[in-house]
Every structure is written in structure tokens, then in C-alpha cells.
Structure 1
Amino acid sequence: MNKVQNNKKNKTSIIKNKKLITFKIPATSANIGSCFDSVGLALDLYNEIHIYSNENSKKIEFEIIGEGENEISKDDNMILDAMKLVYKKLKSKPDKGYTIKCINRIPLSRGLGSSSAAIIGGLLSANYILGNKLSIDYDILNMSVQLEGHPDNVSPAILGGIISGVVIKDEDFKYVKINPSKNLKAIVAIPNFHLSTEVARNALPKEINFKDAIFNISRAALLTSALSSNRFDLLEVATDDKLHQDYRAKFIHGLKDLFKQTKNAGAYSVTISGAGSSILSLVKNDEEIIKKVSNAMKESLAKKKINTEIMVLNIPSKGIIIK
């Protein structure tokens, strides 16, 4: 009898605390060499946020599974901070309890947009809970850009594809979306060490010389043109950079050799992903080339005794997925 009663109680609890919505937010890779803080692309590696009703509580409770489950606080985190900004903007708060279950697959502090995914997830969650009063492709997009501080991570996570954009004034983000070619694959080498964005940014000079600025501007213009016209033969030159990668190379031992070996293996381009420590290669969608480039990246880092996870990913044309 007791067993039957317990089963009944558990079943009732599951029904009451039903799943309401799911958000899938992709990883991103920013800068793409020459386009510092201005171009990024989506990757089909997703964090998931599942929102459940919670009849047993009147507050927001978190469950965290996967990346960062032992590091991220359930009481003070980036998702909750972003949610509070939506409450402030809409001048409203939840009138009942919810459980937010986070399934994290994007590695933390590896230059793959984990913080962007958290910010976007918080904005989307609060917006849903308060009745979807904010538009995703304008309000959520602009809020996420302001919170992140630069657009090249959050914008492709929301919009998908390859995004080239700039912030005009405080809340006006102008961008062009480049739909990715099916002939282009992304290979990401993820070293087994963290590199915080703050540390990586502090390594950059306060001023740059005119010659370096022209070097990057010319290549950034070429990069966006090459990506939009599928001129992948131009990517090696177009991703050359003098503004950030050389200054950050000291954090990733053997980076120059890795770049050389990866290009020799057949990659169109190889760049630091975001602030690092991950490395992004763009390659032809060819099984043999993918294998050669993957091995070259892994072996180059192994020479420096750096264990590395290799992921072969698509560049999805769609950003966040809502179920």
C-alpha cells in the first residue's frame, strides 16, 4: 500500500513540475583572426536550458549538469544575473516558482562562448517566464550585446551562421549575416586548460600602430567578402592578424608551430577561437582533409604535452533553437 501511495505521489509531482520550454544555445567562435571583436560564427555544440514549473517553491531554482556542474553556483550565476536585468527592464518579477535545468556542453573559459550562452539563456528564460514581451532578434539581441560587451560571440549564438557586426551608440547593433556553405567545416582543438577572457585581454597593448591597423582592416574586409562569396582559397591570407593573436600566443605553447602544421595539413585557416585557449580551423568538408587537420592540431599540442579534445563541427545557419 505504501509503495502504491509513493508511486502516486511521485507521479503527481512529475505532472505538477512539468517541462514548459527548452532553449538550445550554440557555441560560438569569435574574432576569426583579423576581425577582432567584430565577426563570429555559430558552432553546432549546444547548451540546453529546460524550464519546469515548480509547485514546491516560489523562487527560481537551478539544476546544473555537465560542464561547470561543480564550479557554477546555483545561487549566484550569469544566467540569474541576466534574468534580473529582464525583471528590471520589464519592471516585473515571477509570481511563482520555476526550476531551470542547465545541460552544459560548451567548455568553460576556452573561447567558445560559454559566457554568451549563459547570458542569452538567462535573458530568454526571464523573458519566457514574464510572458515573452521582448523580441528575440532585437530586444534580446541588443541586451545580450550590451551585457557581453562585444557582439561577435552573442550575435551568432542568437542568429546563427557567420555574423559581421558593430555596435552604434548604446543599443543599436548593426550586422550582416553570412549563411555558411555546406562545403565548410569547423575543427576545434580544445586544450585541457582554462584561459579567462580578462587575462587574455590584459595581454593586449593599449595602443596599436597605424601600419598594424591597416594590416587588419584590409584582411578583415577580405575575410567577410571571402566568406560571403565562398572564396575559401582566400581565408589563409584573410585571417592573418596583428592585433591580438601574437600577444596571446604566450598562453598557448607551440601556437606558431600548430598554425604552420595545421595549414600544411590542408586547413583553409587556423585562428585562436575567441580569447582562447581553443583553436579553430576552417576546412573543406572532405573526410581525408578533416582527418589530416585534426591529427595535425592534436599532435602539435601533444608535442608541448597539452592534452586536447578535437571536435569536428558544422556552422549552423540557425542560432537558438526553441522547443
Structure 2
Amino acid sequence: MSSQSITVRVPGTSANCGPGFDSIGLACTIYNDLELTLLKEPGLSITVHGEGEENIPCDKRNIVWRSVRYLLGKAGRDKEYRGAVIRMRNHVPLSRGLGSSATAIVAGLKAANVLIGNRFSRRELLQFATEIEGHPDNVAPAIFGGFTVSTVTDGRVECFSFMPKSRLRLVVAVPDFPLSTRKARSVLPAQVPMKDAVRNIGKAAMMVAALCRGNDRFLHHVFDDALHQPYRARLIPGMYDVFAAARKAGALGASLSGAGPCLIAYTLERRHCEEAVGKAMQDMFHRHGVRARIFTLDLDSRGAHIVNKNNH
């Protein structure tokens, strides 16, 4: 058995953040923990506690294990370490739009990287995670924390991460039904009107500028979207009514979290309206026949990090 195990903690994430479709993401204070022990001999032991424990595969299909193997292959160490003991403790709901697959990918990459001596930088881990996930908007905030703006040019990922000067809190309504990213992608059109694209560019740019400067008065209309939410609305009963209820209760705005079905409302910490916003969202969902859990979260500033490192 390997002489060491590592435990890493990775935040859940929300992608798009309103108008930043496939480019803007944030990390929030809900976490998955992974304990990884690399083995010289073949063999795989995977245990899952918490969210997803009944349907996350505990064999070679497991995304944590696949990510570990990916990193070991990149480092040329895959023949040295042929097995693993993986223990997952999950708080991030599955298939809800809070980046559960991204947390698993980043956890596997980060833990394996530490155990082989931090061969790769966080920028390289971002590249690997994007290659596994297919897009950077969830894996980037999972790695770096805070808000992230990501672009891909000729296959190379670049990410700008920042903590906003505006003190935000996040109220997340988690419906009691899952929604696969594949299904949510399938309803999107191949082309969108020019006016919708222009509108989103303006709002996304305004949002980043206002957050960086801490100019809260520009945040009241920036969380709207015209590129994906109108097409996904039919998959989430009462979506726009829940948005309106959140705003009426004091939120700056609300949006789909990733591909949904989670809805996320953005509030200013100084307003102390999170409880009212959460109740309004939950009640409106209930009126549309949907039960929803409410999480009130902060922005995570650390991203994926080591919790402890143990010698056996």
C-alpha cells in the first residue's frame, strides 16, 4: 500500500451566473470531501457517503478514479500506481446544477497530484479538468474559488479568478427532481438572435465590472439571460415565477444554476434578506407542484484544498 493518503475538499459551483453562458462560474460554500490512497498493486475500493451514495458507480466507471488515472497517465506514473482506496463524502446534490461532476473531477486530479509531489500547477490541473469535463465553467471555480471567467482558445483554457468587492450571499433552491446536463443541452437552439447575443454580452461585462469595483447599483439587472434560460424554462416548472418571487423578497436577481434545475438568487449581505428570499422561492416552487430544499451559501474563496495528509 502507498505510504500516504490525502483528503481534499472541493466546493460546489454554479455556472453561467445569469448571462455568462459557459464562461462565468462561482464557487460556493457547500463541499465534497475525497480521501485518496494510491496503491502499487491492482485493486479498487470506493465508498460513497451522503449525496449520490445510492447511484454513484463504485467501480472503474467512477469519475474520481477516471480523473486519478488521467493525471497519473499525464505524469507517466500510471504503471507505478495501479489501484486505489477512494472514500467520498458528498454534500453537493447530484444532477441539480451545482457542479457535482466537476467536484469529483477536480478532487481526483488534486488528490493524485499532491500524492505524486505536486507535479502539475493549478493551471495545468484546469486544463486536464476541462479536457475531462468538456468545458471549464464549473471546474475553474472548483479549482480557484471565487468568481471565474474562462475562455478556450485553440483548446487552451485561460481563467481569470477574483473575489468581488460586493459582499454577496447566495440563496439556492434545490428542486426534488434531477435534470441531466445532456437533456438541458438538447433543448438549446443552434443559433440565437443577434439582439439576444448583444444583450448577454453587455450584461455579462457589466456584472464582472460591477463586482470587481463593488458598485452594487449596477447589479440589479445583470443576472438576466437570453441565450439558454428561455429555452430551458419548460424543463423547470415555475422558473420565472420563482425568479420574480426572489426579486420581490429583496434579491438582486436570480438565474438557473448551471443547466439547472437549481435556481440561485443573489443577495447583498447587508440587506439580510436571505431567509425571506429562500422562503419566497420555496413557496413559489410549491405553488407549481415542486418541493425544494433551500441552501443559503457564501462564496468560497479557496477552491480545492488539502484538508489533511496522513502517513500510514
Aligned positions of 1:153-232 closer than 5 A:
153-171=138-156, 173-181=157-165, 183-232=167-216
Q: Are 1:133 and 2:127 an aligned pair?
A: no
| Cα 1:194/1:144, change in 2 over 3 Å | same
| Cα 1:121/1:288, change in 2 over 3 Å | closer
Q: Partner residue of 1:91?
A: 76
- CA apart distance, 1:129: 3.8
Query: What is the Cα-based RMSD across aligned positions, in Å?
Result: 2.0
Query: Do 2:166 and 2:215's aligned partners in 1 also have CA atoms closer than 8 Å?
Result: no
Which deviates more, 39-48 or 72-81? 72-81
Inter-partner Cα distance in structure 2 for 1:273 and 1:60: 33
Query: Do 2:221 and 2:252's aligned partners in 1 also have CA atoms closer than 8 Å?
Result: no
Residue 115 of structure 1: which of 83, 86, 101 is its match? 101
Q: TM-score, normalised by structure 2?
A: 0.92
Q: Partner residue of 2:310?
A: none
Q: Are 1:266 and 2:250 an aligned pair?
A: yes
Aligned positions of 1:1-323 closer than 5 A:
20-52=5-37, 58-75=42-59, 76-93=61-78, 94-95=80-81, 97-135=83-121, 137-171=122-156, 173-181=157-165, 183-286=167-270, 288-323=272-307
Inter-partner Cα distance in structure 1 for 2:200 and 2:302: 28
Larger of the two Rg values belongs to structure:
1
Query: Do 1:24 and 1:320's aligned partners in 2 also have CA atoms closer than 8 Å?
Result: yes
Inter-partner Cα distance in structure 2 for 1:288 and 1:281: 13
- CA apart distance, 1:150: 1.7
Structure 2 unaligned spans of 5+:
308-312
Q: Deviations over 1:93-152 (max 9, x none)?
A: 2447531110011000000000101111121233234343222x2111111122222221
Q: TM-score, normalised by structure 1?
A: 0.89
Query: Do 1:63 and 1:102's aligned partners in 2 also have CA atoms closer than 8 Å?
Result: yes
Q: Deviations over 1:165-186 (max 9, x none)?
A: 2112113x22222213472101
Inter-partner Cα distance in structure 2 for 1:279 and 1:251: 12
Query: Do 1:232 and 1:268's aligned partners in 2 also have CA atoms closer than 8 Å?
Result: no
Inter-partner Cα distance in structure 1 for 2:39 and 2:247: 52
Inter-partner Cα distance in structure 1 for 2:91 and 2:284: 25
Query: Do 1:45 and 1:313's aligned partners in 2 also have CA atoms closer than 8 Å?
Result: yes
Q: Secondary structure at the match of 1:238?
A: coil
Query: Do 1:178 and 1:227's aligned partners in 2 also have CA atoms closer than 8 Å?
Result: no
Q: Deviations over 1:240-267 (max 9, x none)?
A: 2110001001011111111111101110
Inter-partner Cα distance in structure 2 for 1:231 and 1:19: 47
Higher helix share: 1
* Amino acid paired to 1:78: I
| Cα 1:59/1:182, change in 2 over 3 Å | farther
Query: Do 1:32 and 1:272's aligned partners in 2 also have CA atoms closer than 8 Å?
Result: yes
Once the two structures are aligned, what percentage of the paired residues are identical? 36
Inter-partner Cα distance in structure 1 for 2:271 and 2:33: 29
Query: Do 1:180 and 1:315's aligned partners in 2 also have CA atoms closer than 8 Å?
Result: no
Q: Deviations over 1:181-229 (max 9, x none)?
A: 4721011110010001010011100111211111111111111111111
The number of aligned residues is: 305
Q: Secondary structure at the match of 1:204?
A: coil
Q: Deviations over 1:253-296 (max 9, x none)?
A: 11111111110111011000000010111102147411111111
| Cα 1:34/1:58, change in 2 over 3 Å | same
Q: Secondary structure at the match of 1:63?
A: strand
| Cα 1:53/1:176, change in 2 over 3 Å | closer
Inter-partner Cα distance in structure 2 for 1:17 and 1:122: 16
* Amino acid paired to 2:109: L
Query: Do 1:161 and 1:178's aligned partners in 2 also have CA atoms closer than 8 Å?
Result: yes
| Cα 1:147/1:310, change in 2 over 3 Å | same
* Amino acid paired to 1:114: S
Q: Secondary structure at the match of 2:89?
A: strand
Query: Do 1:79 and 1:121's aligned partners in 2 also have CA atoms closer than 8 Å?
Result: yes
| Cα 1:36/1:321, change in 2 over 3 Å | same
| Cα 1:91/1:66, change in 2 over 3 Å | same
